[in-house]
């Protein structure tokens, strides 16, 4: 041990008036910094070993109220020369299970998971549900059968035979705690064999210790109105059970089938309707269906052009879980006859003689004549 330090307080880098908590904090930092196992070079390892012994010797005295009072009263030299005894016999014989070292490091590592409680959750399940556009519009409710794991009622999901008295856990010897190696230190953790109870149970004969059983369960599903294709609905707690934890969730993935008439665009319903050239020229009133299986009157104005879009406000799809509705947007398609009889041809030719070009077509043909000179 080196003699180039003044006293134990300077070894730990603390003041004489500092509290025990301050001393513990300083000790933690120094032990991590100078632990010999951190060094590979033999000379550095030897220096660290010597420094480590100084740190441990100082801490063994200052952590003990009685020794600390005696040390403060006698001073370092008098204390070393017989006034007190540090109880430290060198690093080679140091026991990592000793009271001072292990206690402080079990406290130190508790924030790194040594005593962290863990909540287990059962597996989530998935179910695909196909519904019509009308069902998506009004909302939909149904019952399904789901194969899943449920908590064992014979052992209250514990996995233990409740009719047989427990024995002492063989892994922790009934203490509920075990010591595990983390880095170069041993830390205390809850026993994973008995979950800290210190007791060992015979397995439940119904679930074989798993705490859950296979079952096909009826589950009620409520799909909100306005649900969109591809949405997923979460049903909490309807997934698999698990021993010592909470149930997983059931996710219902909704597919809205293609409609025979409408195409959904956000909350709008798109619809294409074919009309004759006569209806486009003269105008017409038509009945447009809605998702309520009713009809709305749509007026097609005279002179309607191909591709024109007309809308019926507030008669479209509902927004998800809302009363807001989009529009029905109607695209006009004009049918041109591909075959006409000789009498029809005569009528079309007579009509053509009476027809006067619109200003748009007249302007175009005038430009074309000018282009050709």
CA dihedral 27, 32, 35, 37 (to 10 degrees): 160
pTM for this model (two decimals)? 0.58
CA dist 371 → 239, 361, 362 (Å):
75, 15, 14
12 and 79 both lie in a single domain: yes
Q: What is the DSSP letter of 201?
A: -
Bridge-partner residues for 331, per DSSP? Answer: 272, 309
Residue 83: inside a domain: yes
What does the buried/exposed string (b/e) look like for 292-302 if buried means 16 or more CB atoms within 10 Å of the residue's CB? eeeeeebebee
| Distance between CA atoms of residues 32 and 57, nearest Å | 16
Whose tokens are 């698990």? That residue is 242
134 and 219 both lie in a single domain: yes
pLDDT band at 87 (very low <50, low <70, confident <90, very high): very low
| Distance between CA atoms of residues 2 and 34, nearest Å | 15
Residue 108: inside a domain: no
26 and 130 both lie in a single domain: no
Nearest-Å Rg of the Cα atoms of the chain is 43
> How many CB atoms are closer than 10 A to CB 62?
25
CATH assignment of the domain containing 212: 2.60.260.20
CA dihedral 123, 128, 133, 135 (to 10 degrees): -60
Mean pLDDT in the chain?
83
Choosing from 94, 111, 140, the residue where a domain stops is 94
Residue 110: inside a domain: no
Residue 1: inside a domain: no
Q: Among positive and negative, which fits the CA dihedral 259, 264, 269, 272?
A: negative
185 and 298 both lie in a single domain: no
145 and 233 both lie in a single domain: yes
Confirm if 71 and 84 have CB atoms less than 8 A apart.
yes
22 and 77 both lie in a single domain: yes
289 and 251 both lie in a single domain: no
Residue 288: inside a domain: yes
Dihedral pair phi/psi, residue 71, rounded to 5° = -65, -45
Residue 107: inside a domain: no
84 and 14 both lie in a single domain: yes
Number of domains in the chain: 5
294 and 329 both lie in a single domain: yes
CA dist 78 → 4, 64, 75, 82, 331 (Å):
17, 18, 6, 7, 104
CATH assignment of the domain containing 50: 1.10.287.110
| Distance between CA atoms of residues 296 and 365, nearest Å | 41
193 and 269 both lie in a single domain: no
Residue 100: inside a domain: no
184 and 156 both lie in a single domain: no
pLDDT at 360 (0 to 100): 66
**Containing H/E element for 108?**
helix 99-109
Average pLDDT score over residue span 358-367 = 70
| Three state DSSP letters for 182-207 | ECCEEEEEECCCCCCCCEECCECCCC
Confirm if 39 and 48 have CB atoms less than 8 A apart.
yes
List the domain range (segments joined by +) for residue 171.
165-200
pLDDT band at 96 (very low <50, low <70, confident <90, very high): very low
pLDDT at 157 (0 to 100): 85
| Distance between CA atoms of residues 187 and 2, nearest Å | 31
pLDDT above 80: residue 356: no
Quote the Cα angle for 12-17-21, to 5°: 60
pLDDT digits (tens, 9 = 90+) for 168-225: 888 898 888 888 876 667 788 888 888 788 888 888 999 998 999 999 989 999 999 9
pLDDT at 361 (0 to 100): 67
Six-digit token pair at 29?
């930092």
24 and 90 both lie in a single domain: yes
pLDDT above 70: residue 83: no
More confident residue, 35 or 373: 35
Residue 113: inside a domain: no
């Amino acid at each position: 041990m080196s003699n180039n330090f003044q006293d134990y307080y300077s070894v730990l880098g603390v003041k004489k008036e500092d509290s025990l908590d301050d001393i513990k904090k300083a000790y933690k930092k120094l032990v991590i910094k100078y632990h010999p196992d951190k060094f590979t070079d033999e000379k550095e390892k030897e220096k660290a070993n010597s420094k480590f012994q100084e740190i441990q010797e100082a801490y063994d005295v200052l952590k003990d109220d009685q020794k600390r009072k005696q040390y403060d009263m006698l001073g370092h030299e008098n204390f070393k020369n017989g006034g007190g005894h540090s109880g430290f016999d060198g690093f080679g014989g140091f026991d990592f299970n000793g009271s001072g070292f292990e206690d402080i490091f079990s406290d130190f590592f508790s924030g790194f998971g040594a005593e962290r409680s863990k909540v287990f959750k059962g597996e989530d399940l998935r179910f695909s549900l196909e519904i019509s556009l009308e069902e998506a519009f009004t909302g939909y409710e149904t019952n399904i059968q789901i194969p899943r794991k449920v908590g064992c009622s014979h052992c209250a999901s514990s996995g233990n035979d409740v009719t047989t008295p427990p024995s002492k856990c063989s892994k922790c010897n009934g203490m509920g705690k075990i010591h595990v190696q983390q880095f170069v230190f041993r830390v205390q953790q809850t026993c994973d064999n008995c979950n800290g109870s210190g007791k060992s149970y015979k397995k439940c004969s119904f679930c074989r210790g798993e705490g859950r059983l296979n079952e096909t369960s009826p589950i009620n599903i409520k799909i909100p109105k306005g649900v969109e294709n591809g949405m997923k609905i979460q049903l909490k707690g309807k997934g698999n059970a698990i021993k010592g934890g909470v149930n997983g969730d059931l996710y219902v993935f909704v597919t809205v089938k293609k409609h025979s008439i409408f195409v959904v665009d956000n909350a709008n319903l798109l619809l294409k309707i074919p009309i004759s050239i006569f209806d486009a020229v003269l105008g017409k009133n038509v009945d447009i269906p809605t998702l309520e299986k009713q009809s709305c009157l749509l007026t097609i104005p005279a002179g309607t052009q191909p591709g024109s879009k007309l809308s019926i406000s507030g008669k479209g799809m509902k927004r998800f879980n809302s009363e807001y509705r989009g529009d029905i947007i109607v695209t006009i398609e004009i049918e041109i006859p591909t075959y006409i009889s000789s009498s029809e041809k005569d009528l079309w030719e007579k009509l053509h003689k009476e027809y006067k070009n619109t200003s748009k077509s007249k302007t175009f043909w005038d430009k074309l004549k000018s282009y050709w000179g």
